[in-house]
Amino acid sequence: MILNEEIVKQMLQDALDHGTGIGIPISVAVTDAAGHLLGFSRHINAEIVSITLAQDKAFTAAVNRISTAELGKLCQPGAELYGLQNNLGGRMVIFGGGIPIRDREGMLIGAIGVSGGTCEQDIACGQFAIAKAIERGMKS
């Protein structure tokens, strides 16, 4: 399974709808498995910094094949990946909001990144979009 234009557009809209539902303006990005941007959208009143952060969260989740929240734990001082966030020109994000997207066989097919709320809110918006995609027949 691959992320096609229809799935990407729907995931972006689902994340935005969830953000609206919990009262936060967000930016959301979806990438392919290599971290290349497939789609992006934002609420008009989303924070300007959220534009870059959403894209970098999705990129980070894709290229590391792990959520940015989990990666953050591995990048703490003394942990095995400490300092990773200083690589790739500052594109690595090590706080919540970037989530890998996997197909039915568990293969990485992309990632979603959300920014604009707290880490927990960003994660919830991304997970909501993935859950809706699963309901439509795609597995995360």
In this structure, whether the domain defined by 5-66+96-135 belongs to CATH 3.30.450.150 is answered with yes
Retrieve residue 27's tokens. Answer: 């930016």
CA neighbours closer than 13 Å in the CB half-sphere of residue 27: 17
What per-residue confidence (pLDDT) applies to 1? 63
Can you give the pTM of this predicted structure? 0.95
Q: How far is CA 68 from CA 15, 63, 83, 115, in A?
A: 17, 11, 14, 12
Each residue's pLDDT tens digit in the chain (140 positions)?
Answer: 679 999 999 999 999 999 999 999 999 999 999 999 999 999 999 999 999 999 999 999 999 999 999 999 999 999 999 999 888 788 999 999 999 999 888 999 999 999 999 999 999 999 999 999 988 886 44
Strands (E), 1-140: 27-32, 37-42, 98-102, 108-115
Instruction: Answer yes or no: are the C-beta atoms of 111 and 62 closer than 8 Å.
Output: yes
Residue ranges per domain, the chain?
Answer: 5-66+96-135
